[in-house]
Amino acid sequence: MRAAFFRCIREFFYNENFLEVDTPLRQPVSIPESTIIPVGSDGLYLQTSPELCMKRLLAAGCTNIFQICHCFRKEERGRLHLEEFQMLEWYRSGADYFQLMADCEHLLRYVLVQLQSAQSEQNLNPEQKLLKGISLQGKWHKLKVEDAFKQFSPVSLNRALTEDCFDEILVEYIEPFLGMDSPLFLYDYPVELASLARKKEGEETIAERFELYIKGVELANGFSELTDAVEQRVRFQAEIDKIRENYGHRISMPEKFLSDIDRLGSAAGIALGLDRLFMLVMDCPSVSAAVTFAEEDF
């Protein structure tokens, strides 16, 4: 089933005229993100995501690209986290985040139909209902972050931001209700929570970023790309300072990336956690149960 899963994801992107790319797992620079700790590898870093390299490929003239790769993030272990996990990233040039949302709808519908036919053709536990309890039909819900706070949270979005408890509220009061019978897009994040995303036109405080949720599980994060090298440098510097303050690590500025993104036209990109998607499709209790070998298998 896992093999069929990967095959039909690739098929979907081939059908959409995407180019499959691959970029190095080990890199001398890591993305400056204060909430993600990279794993070191003999003086280099294992990638936390292929984002920087893929955007440089866009800047070099690629239009639609995708990649399935392993990513590594230190100290992330839990029901939904593995330190090594599989990511699907895709980028569309000339697009914005709404087009990525449409991609998500098409991709998941395609994957489910293909898997259902693989299931019955190859007689793979045909009784099991894939992606149990979730309907992919019809338009998927879209909910603005601000409205999600109004609907579910005891405090407003602004208060959560000023009192620095956005993440706690999100995890405790909001996420458990998202995407419970059909998938949901949570979108329009405060700009300080989207360090590589473009600001919404006319709204200085909002970034064009979204997350896809199914059964309370955050599945994908996409945004319209920030292509202003000056602003990107300012945001990276803030992250670099935070990393030094919190962990004492010195992270260098991804200079080559910054000089490339000026050449990046408008584009949008998204990262989707494949282990989590497979977990949901197969109704596994955790991501460790959805991968072929988890840490406890050694």
Q: Which residues of the chain form contacts with another protein (CB under 8 A)?
A: 33, 35, 75-81, 166-168, 170-172, 175, 193-195, 211, 218, 221, 246
Q: How far is the CB of 167 from another protein (least distance, A)?
A: 4
Residue bearing tokens 């599945």: 219
Q: How far is the CB of 165 from another protein (least distance, A)?
A: 9
155 in Cβ contact with 170 (< 8 Å): no
**Distance of alpha carbon 286 from alpha carbon 271, whole angstroms:** 20
Task: Closer to another protein by CB, 79 or 132: give it.
Answer: 79
**Distance of alpha carbon 226 from alpha carbon 266, whole angstroms:** 8
Q: Both tokens of residue 48?
A: 């936390």
Residue bearing tokens 């003999």: 42
Task: Closer to another protein by CB, 119 or 224: give it.
Answer: 224
Q: How far is the CB of 120 from another protein (least distance, A)?
A: 35
Task: Closer to another protein by CB, 254 or 273: give it.
Answer: 273
104 in Cβ contact with 136 (< 8 Å): no
Task: Closer to another protein by CB, 175 or 275: give it.
Answer: 175
Q: How far is the CB of 189 from another protein (least distance, A)?
A: 8
Q: How far is the CB of 42 from another protein (least distance, A)?
A: 23
Strand partners, 86: 70
Task: Closer to another protein by CB, 114 or 190: give it.
Answer: 190
Amino acid at the residue 197: A
- At 12 the three-state DSSP class reads helix
Task: Closer to another protein by CB, 211 or 260: give it.
Answer: 211
Q: Is 152 exposed, middle or buried (0-12, 13-18, 19+ CB in 10 A)?
A: middle
124 in Cβ contact with 116 (< 8 Å): no
H or E element, residue 274: helix 274-282
> Residue 160: which residues within 8 A CB-CB, separation 6 or more?
149, 153, 166, 169
**Distance of alpha carbon 267 from alpha carbon 161, whole angstroms:** 28
- At 271 the three-state DSSP class reads strand
Q: How far is the CB of 293 from another protein (least distance, A)?
A: 20
Task: Closer to another protein by CB, 167 or 203: give it.
Answer: 167
Q: Is residue 123 left, alpha or beta, with left meaning phi > 0 and alpha meaning psi from -120 to 50?
A: left
Amino acid at the residue 66: F
Q: How far is the CB of 119 from another protein (least distance, A)?
A: 30
Q: How far is the CB of 64 from another protein (least distance, A)?
A: 23
Task: Closer to another protein by CB, 34 or 182: give it.
Answer: 34
